Chain A
Amino acid sequence: MTDTKPAIEIKDMNKWYGDFHVLKDVNLTVAEGERIVICGPSGSGKSTMIRCINRLEEHQAGQIIVNGIELTEDLKRIDEVRKEVGMCFQHFNLFPHLTILENCTLGPIWVRKMPKKEAEDVAMHFLERVKIPEQADKYPGQLSGGQQQRVAIARSLCMNPKIMLFDEPTSALDPEMIKEVLDVMVELANEGMTMLCVTHEMGFAKMVADRVIFMDAGQIVEENNPHEFFDNPQNDRTKMFLSQIIGH
């Protein structure tokens, strides 16, 4: 594994919102095929960090290298990175004016320049994988939250990404819909997709993660394999956080 280049390398990355220092000296290397779960209290910078990886947020100091491409002001590089990195959001962010199928074919047709017919075949393939091919002609507003999030995952997969980012994909869902989304994510993880996932679903973390990262106040406080992380946390801050989320 050592000779393959890492999927993501973050070196001494710092970010400010105005004067507010949100990310401090973040260092993280993600190997190809690695599954990482990031947790932490709200405001700890975990979402901001993964949003820096596809440059939805820009960092002011340090380096981010994704798939061998360093993220800079250069728009071409940003587009290159975004082609290879899929992202799922807390609020799904499906395009409400397009059907489910059109949501899934938009990227392949306009970014990958795929012929429409082929893009539709790809879209149907992934909609089948997330188990909602029968909804293809509906609009997002007609689907439940869980279904919308699965469509959002399929939409990202249609771009054939090398890396998938998940920004709290289940926290806007009703409890009974969380499982259907997690099932899809587990399946994806088992297929060897490189995944970074901001989530508080600790069951999911235990099941699929290679590493769990705990962030607080813009810093990576602790990182470990899930077994050690949950059973034997080193840092007091981590212990307190875990006791709060697992305590009830």
Chain B
Amino acid sequence: MSDFKALPDLLPPTSARGIVGWFRTNLFSSPINSILSLVGIYFAVSFLTPVLDWAVFSAVWTGEGNAACAEASGACWIFIGDRISIFAYGIYPPEEFWRLDVCFVLLALSFGPQFFDKFQYKVPLAMFSLTAFPVICYFLISGGSFGLVDVPTEKWGGLALTLMLAYVGIVAALPIGVVLALGRRSEMPVIRTFCIAFIELWRGVPLISVLFMSSVMLPLFLPDGMNFDKLLRALIGITMFQSAYMAEVIRGGLQAIPSGQYEAASAMGLGYWKQMRLVILPQALKLVIPGIVNTFIALFKDTTLVLIIGLLDILALVQSAIEDPAWRAVETEGYVFAAACFWVFCFSMSRYSQKLERKLHRGHKR
């Protein structure tokens, strides 16, 4: 009997390493794969060349006014530059732009650091983002106190309005969704029936009709003299609508928690709310992070529908700007810019959710 000796670790052969190895395994592993790769590369190049040419190489980046763009075959980005303040701030009084700027900066400061692993104060910062931040922004933007000029909500618009609608919708829909999801699983028939009715009602109607109802129909039913803000009505509509969706996403997570978890928590003597808060919801919410973020992203993009009730979000302002006869046709530039704005925010949310999922992964097995 000889002793067992482990063989030394060797590097893989050159053909499986480095750039050559990568190309061989991923693109040219067989004749058919080679042909498919080449065809794919051909289509990618023939599509990207004109797009890049339009967006970058033949585009107009500097100059003043329509004249600079008149002869160009590429995109007229100076149009966007010319209108950027409208897109960002809407028809907010220009001398008060700084108030929105403060809010933008606060927004970046509240969420930017969450992307860095080394940042230590994530939880306090998140608490700030969810509580103090919206309040500060509300007082700053609406004014009327602390010596700030009052700016009525009719003047709110642009990217600021889009972010505001999405932010309030997200921050309010999540807790309401949690409560509705718990209610729908409640053993108390009255609560359960109410929650099912609420969820099915709001989920069963299009958002556009919710917004329309809130702005046109609701005032008809309210007593004379009682009228509340159009933006507020839209916000409530969006929040109700999204919390119904959120409730169903969260219910999916609740159903995935094995009954043993409820039993162990009960056997320990934890009451219902403590069970939910300490044991069930932390697990259920973690499970459905992709679904929750999916709903947030849908909500963010759905805010564009407010243009039908006359609120001027970024898309509404882009649409009206591209019709300006002083400029050559700039529809594409306008829509590409609006799309890019939405993409940046939605993609950030998506990246953040992936980060959160990895961070909360505990190598579970149940």
Contact = CB atoms under 8 A, between A and B. Distances in A.
Interface string B343-366: 000000000000000001011111
Given A56-B263, A91-B260, A97 B282 contact: yes
Interface string B264-277: 11111111001000
Interface string B281-298: 011001000000000000
Interface residues of A, number: 28
Contact of A107 (B270, B286, B364): B270
A96 B266 contact: no
Interface residues of B, number: 24
A159 B364 CA distance: 25
Nearest to A80: B269
A95 interface: yes
Contacts of A207: none
A137 interface: no
Tell me if B's interface is mostly helix, strand, loop or mixed. Answer: helix
A142 B278 contact: no
Nearest to A142: B363
Contacts of B364: 96, 139-141
A87 interface: yes
A223 to B, nearest CB: 25
Nearest to B271: A79
A172 to B, nearest CB: 11
A139 B264 contact: no
Contacts of A159: 268-269
Question: Which has the most chain A C-beta neighbours within 10 Å: B258, B283, B362?
Answer: B362
Interface in B220-276: 258, 260-261, 263-271, 274
Contact of B269 (A82, A94, A95, A140): A82
B106 interface: no
B213 interface: no
A54 B268 CA distance: 10
Nearest to A96: B364
Contacts of B360: 97
Interface in A66-85: 75, 79, 82-83, 85
Given A96-B362, A97-B282, A141-B363, A111 B269 contact: yes
A79 B362 contact: no
Contacts of B279: 95, 106
A106 B268 contact: yes
29 contacts: A54-B266, A56-B267, A79-B269, A79-B271, A82-B267, A82-B269, A83-B269, A87-B264, A89-B260, A89-B263, A89-B264, A91-B258, A93-B258, A95-B265, A95-B283, A97-B360, A106-B268, A110-B274, A110-B278, A111-B269, A111-B270, A139-B362, A140-B364, A141-B362, A141-B363, A152-B264, A156-B268, A159-B268, A159-B269
Given A107-B269, A139-B363, 20 more contacts: A54-B267, A56-B263, A85-B267, A89-B260, A91-B366, A93-B260, A93-B261, A93-B263, A94-B264, A95-B279, A96-B364, A107-B268, A110-B270, A110-B274, A110-B278, A111-B269, A141-B362, A141-B364, A142-B363, A155-B268
Interface of A: 54, 56, 75, 79, 82-83, 85-87, 89, 91, 93-97, 106-107, 110-111, 139-142, 152, 155-156, 159
The 10 A-B residue pairs with the shortest CB-CB distance in the complex, in nearest-first order: A93-B264, A93-B260, A82-B269, A87-B267, A107-B268, A111-B269, A141-B363, A139-B362, A96-B364, A141-B364
